[in-house]
Amino acid sequence: MAFSFDATWGAEHTPKILETLSRHQVKTTFFLTNIWLEKYPHMAKKIAEEGHEIGLHSTTHPHFTALSQEEMEKELKENYQKVKEITGYEARFFRPPFGGYDDRVIRTCHLLGFQVIQWDVDSLDWQEGMTAEAIKKRVLNGVKPGSIVVFHNNGRYTAEALDPILPELKKRGYEIVPVGQLLLQGEYYIDHTGEQRPVRS
């Protein structure tokens, strides 16, 4: 299974999240926007230096389904360039802001060589009133083999929730990897639920 972190606002809680991931020897995927990268380039570099995978999360965090193809391409290309310029990372994956996508979004991303990544477990760590205990329960009750969990780089209680979540998942036999290591390689198709399935000959 994979853990992922979306970065759009703030960075005060990010060092504690990175420290927690490091202590548990876990690598994850961070999806970064340009509006965040421009404010916190040092933090983006640290994420890359610590061996986490980096994905795209757009330039300005718009609703992609409301954009023209040209606008989508601009958001993606500028995001890719900024990630590469600051971290040296050549991102292959894109998470649409707000999780919003349709066939046009998928097609445009594929044209540019990016794979769209969603999630099946939402930690809701960004919501007011979500405690570390509530985040922990949501994640532990929601995961299954192959799950992708979404967190945020600046969730107030995210690091505190990760501390008990990570050992519990390892105890259950899960290995937590970056999104790129979770995806099927070779020929596959996407079923009606959005999951990858291998093509059987």
Tell me the H-state helices in the chain. 14-23, 34-39, 41-49, 69-87, 103-111, 132-142, 158-171, 179-182
Q: Which of 102, 110, 152, 163 is catalytic?
A: 152
Query: Which residue in 6, 13, 52, 125 is the catalytic one?
Result: 6
Active-site annotation holds for 152? yes
**Residues in CB range of 71: below 8 A, 6 or more apart:** 62
42 in active site: no
CB-count exposure of residue 109 (10 Å: 0-12, 13-18, 19+): buried
String of b and e for 6-30 (b: at least 16 CB within 10 Å)? bbbebbebbeebbebbeeeebbbbb
Active site residues: 6, 152
